[in-house]
A = this chain, B = another copy of it.
Amino acid sequence: MKTIRNKFVLLAIVIADLTTAYAQDPLPSWNDGPAKQAIVDFVKATTETGGTSFVPPEERIATFDQDGTLWVEHPMYSQVMYCMDRVGALVKEKPELRKVEPFKTVLSGDREAIAKLSMAQLEKILAATLTGMSTEQFQAEVKQWLAEAKDPRWKKPYTELTYQPMQEVLKYLRANGFKTYIVTGGGQDFVRAYAEQTYGITPEQVVGTMGGTKYGYDKDGKPFLTKEPKMLLNDNNAGKPEGIHLMIGRRPIAAFGNSTGDRQMLEYTKAGDGARLAMIVLHDDAEREYAYGPAQGLPETKVGTFTQTLYDEAKKNGWAVISMKNDWRVIFPFDNK
């Protein structure tokens, strides 16, 4: 009987929740307009029992790019900031690297020289800071950095610079039986270190650039995994649908991106049968965040490029373009406080 009584209490809570949820706007940080409407219409169409576009819950897969789609990516991807910051800790452990390039340049703090590092030199920095340690050690290092590092413009931890309107989309989709995945060009293990706390997305629902690990034993015979400098999949461009197939094994019915690296994921999602939602964020708000494209005459960038060709493809194929400036009432969670 205790179980049944508890169940009734639970029911009261569920009803209260439901009533509140239906009474309230699920996307309060969005201005009314075609972008918001596209999301609401899609969710209604795919979840209405008996509707012609109904999708069973196990097929409700939604994928989100991270950098520039769920959180700020300018002036530089947070993971690159992490790698640069880690060089300091690295030379403490291995002082012999202090006078060796490219570490010497990074330590100099000379922004101009750092910007001129070659791709091979950057890769050396990534390999040195993202591999060679146990998976547990890496996770602890990332968590420590996130607790201390601050974005230079907002003077806030990077994990607070998520977009409130997208946080609402994640919750709205999950409340409607969707599984929400991150599909990022960033490192899978890097993003997993904070995705659960930051977005409510569990490690198994983070698809990212994947490196190999190596199974071994410590001196007490306890098994652990070491992160190896071996790329399994570069989860960018065509790698995004490939990564989605590898990790999810099902084509998403909704996808969100913001740059040319998301093109194939959006195409792949939209090419399936039935109701589909493809959305792309345009960073056109220099005042509240950043403005870059170069679509629609926005400034050029190497970080999160959104070309005019991509813009035209979006318009042609029915992907909804989200204008940060016009569609988002607020940008960050702290804007509401």
Contacts and interface: CB of A to CB of B under 8 A. Distances in A.
Interface of A: 3-4, 7-8, 11, 14-15, 18-19, 22, 58, 135, 179, 188-189, 192, 196, 202-204, 206, 210, 212-215, 222-223, 225, 232-233, 238-239, 241-242, 245-250, 264, 267-268, 271
Contacts of A233: 212, 232
A271 B223 contact: yes
Contacts of A271: 222-223
A215 B268 contact: yes
B215 A238 contact: yes
Nearest to A237: B215
Given A213-B242, A232-B232, A248-B204, A223 B3 contact: no
The 6 A-B pairs at the shortest CB distance, nearest first, are namely A203-B249, A215-B238, A204-B248, A192-B249, A213-B242, A223-B268
Nearest to A8: B11
Contacts of A14: 7
Given A215-B238, A249-B188, A202 B58 contact: yes
Contact of A247 (B4, B8, B223, B247): B247
Given A215-B264, A233-B232, A204 B11 contact: no
25 contacts: A7-B11, A7-B14, A8-B11, A11-B11, A58-B196, A58-B202, A135-B245, A179-B204, A188-B246, A189-B249, A192-B249, A202-B250, A203-B248, A203-B249, A204-B204, A213-B242, A213-B245, A214-B238, A215-B242, A215-B264, A223-B241, A223-B271, A225-B241, A225-B242, A232-B246
Nearest to A241: B215
Nearest to A239: B215
Contacts of A179: 204
Given A11-B11, A225-B242, A242-B214, A203 B250 contact: yes
A224 B210 CA distance: 21
Given A7-B11, A15-B7, A22-B3, A206 B249 contact: yes
Contacts of A213: 242, 245-246
Nearest to A216: B238
Nearest to A242: B213
Contact of A4 (B15, B239, B267): B15
Contacts of A250: 202-204
Contacts of A239: 215
A205 to B, nearest CB: 8
Contacts of A242: 212-215, 225
A307 B35 CA distance: 61
Contacts of A214: 238, 242
Interface centre among A135, A179, A222, A241 (most CB of B within 10 A): A241
